[in-house]
Chains A and B, each alone.
Chain A
Amino acid sequence: MPASTIHIPRAATAAVNGIASPQTITVQAQAVVQILDHALRQSATQKRVIGTLLGSRSEDGTEYEVRSTYAVSHEEADDRVTIDIEGNKAMYNLLKKTNQGRTSGEVILGWYSTSSDLDYFAGLVHKFYSSPENGAYPFAPIYLSLDSDIIASNGELTVSTFTSSAIGAAGNQDAVNTLFVPIPNEIKYSDIEKAGLDVIAKAQNEPSRSTTIESDLQNLESSLLQIMSMIERVQEYVQNVIKSADTKNTTESVGNVAVGKYLLDSLSLAPGLVKADAIEELFNTHLRDVLMIVYLANTVKTQLQLSSRLTTLL
Chain B
Amino acid sequence: MDAKPLATKVVVDSSVVLHIVKHASEAAPYQACGQLLGLDNQDILEVTHGFNLPVSNSFYDSNDSATLRTKAINKYIGDMVEQLKEVKVDANTVGFYQCTHLGKFINHVVIDNLYAYQKENPEAVVLVYDLSKTVYASFSFKAYRLSPAFIAVKKSGKFSTKNLVEKELSYHDILEEVPVEIHNSHLVTLLLQNLSTQQPESSFTLNSTFNSLDITIDPYLEKTMESIFDSIDDFHYDQGNYNYYQRQLAREQSKISQWQQKRKAENHVRQQKGEAPLPLDNYGKLFKLPEEPSRLENLLISAQLDKYCTQIEEFGATVSSKLFATQKSLEA
- A: residues with CB less than 8 A from B are 28-30, 32-34, 36-41, 43, 49, 51, 67-68, 71-73, 84, 87, 90-91, 94-95, 97-98, 100-102, 104, 148, 150, 155-157, 186-190, 192-201, 203-204, 209-217, 219-220, 222-224, 226-227, 271, 273, 276, 279-280, 283, 286-287, 289-291, 293-294, 296-298, 300-301, 304, 307-308, 311-312, 314
Contact = CB atoms under 8 A, between A and B. Distances in A.
Given A203-B182, A214-B138, A192 B83 contact: no
B248 interface: no
B280 interface: no
Contacts of B209: 194, 198
- Sorted nearest first, the 4 A-B pairs with minimum C-beta distance are A294-B316, A71-B87, A98-B52, A196-B21
Interface of B: 11, 13-15, 17-19, 21-22, 24-27, 48-49, 51-54, 56-57, 76, 79-80, 83-84, 86-89, 131, 134-135, 137-142, 161, 164-165, 170-171, 179-196, 203-204, 206, 208-213, 217, 221, 225, 228, 232, 239, 242, 246, 295, 298, 302, 305-306, 308-310, 312-324, 326-327, 330-331
B317 A216 contact: yes
Contacts of B194: 155-157
A223 B192 CA distance: 20
B330 A271 contact: yes
A197 B185 contact: no
Given A36-B191, A195-B134, A223-B212, A286 B323 contact: yes
A200 B88 contact: no
B18 A209 contact: no
Nearest to B85: A73
A293 B88 contact: no
B287 to A, nearest CB: 19
Contacts, number: 267
Given A38-B87, A157-B187, A291 B316 contact: yes
Most central of A72, A290, A297 by chain B CB within 10 Å: A297
Contacts of A291: 316, 320
A314 to B, nearest CB: 6
A217 B137 CA distance: 10
A91 B185 contact: no
B182 A213 contact: yes
Given A87-B83, A193-B25, A213-B180, 13 more contacts: A41-B88, A94-B76, A100-B54, A196-B17, A196-B139, A198-B209, A211-B182, A212-B179, A280-B327, A286-B323, A294-B312, A301-B310, A304-B309
A246 to B, nearest CB: 28
Nearest to B193: A204
